Amino acid sequence: MDLEMNLNAPHSMGTTIIGVTYNGGVVLGADSRTSTGMYVANRASDKITQLTDNVYVCRSGSAADSQIVSDYVRYFLHQHTIQLGQSATSKVAANLIRLLSYNNKNMLETGLIVGGWDKYEGGKIYAIPLGGTLIEQPFAIGGSGSSYLYGFFDQAWKEGMTKDEAEQLVVKAVSLAIARDGASGGVVRTVIINSEGVTRNFYPGDKLQLWHEELEPQNSLLDLLNSSNPEPMNI
């Protein structure tokens, strides 16, 4: 493994990001792994960034590009809010992201999912993948880990879920993607946005449900040796 090349590789977020609408708002979810080549540069990053009080964005792709794009859009939205005299809608936020992504498509490498709640349209999810297209969907998935979730969502998604059902769906989906995608991992972060406000939740990696062939998290192999009846290792 060539360590020198890996540490100078651009900081990318392998990632699994999800945005889901439910009756009353949206739930955004993401993993927390940022990698440079084969090394995990940050195992607890926060990929769900705030744009305004009621609009958040999930970032994937190049860490630098997505941070800069969300910084610019936060700045434009702040000015827009002042000029408009009321909070910005999620559609405006999504369109600002889309304009930056599309007009700079040759230079940017970032896929974003915008989710928010406003009084005109309620909860909305907008996906803006690599080329800069904008698509409004009842749910959206993105990042390298999303490849493993298309079938899962086809089966598990339903219209008109409650807040808890939606959040459990998002946590389950991110945890499934983390199990299969090397570039996703760490903890699961969720953000729920509705008329009442914003709630941030955090699910540590070792508290997630175990899937096929996953083992119980161990603190140290020394614990196995020191325990009274160590289990024989099974292949």
CA distance 20 to 59: 15
**50 is an interface residue for another protein by CB under 8 A:** no
Residues 6 or more apart from 156 whose CB is under 8 A from it? 169, 172, 173
Of 218, 201, 189, 211, nearest in space to 17 by CA: 189
**Does residue number 101 form part of the binding site for another protein (CB under 8 A)?**
no
Q: Tokens 């959040």 map to which residue?
A: 167
How many residues form the binding site for another protein (CB under 8 A)?
22
Q: Give the span between the Cα atoms of 127 and 20, in whole angstroms.
A: 11
Which of 37, 44, 74, 180 lies at the binding interface for another protein (CB under 8 A)? 44
Query: Using N-to-C axis directions, what is the helix angle for 63-84 and 90-103, rounded to 10°?
Result: 130
Q: Does 45 bind another protein (CB under 8 A)?
A: yes
Q: Binding segment for another protein among 50-58, 90-98, 100-108, 197-205 (CB under 8 A)? A: 100-108
**Given candidates 23, 37, 50, 67, which one binds another protein under the rule CB under 8 A?**
67
Nearer to another protein, 33 or 91 (CB): 33
Candidates 6, 16, 63; CA nearest to 38 is 6
Report the residue number, 38 or 156, with the smaller CB distance to another protein: 38
Which one of the spans 19-27, 103-111, 145-153, 156-164 is the region binding another protein (CB under 8 A)? 103-111
Q: Which is nearer to another protein, 64 or 99 (CB)?
A: 64
The piece of 59-67, 90-98, 157-165, 181-189 that touches another protein (CB under 8 A) is 59-67
**What is the spatial distance between Cα 123 and Cα 132, in angstroms, rounded to a whole number?**
22
Catalytic residues: 15
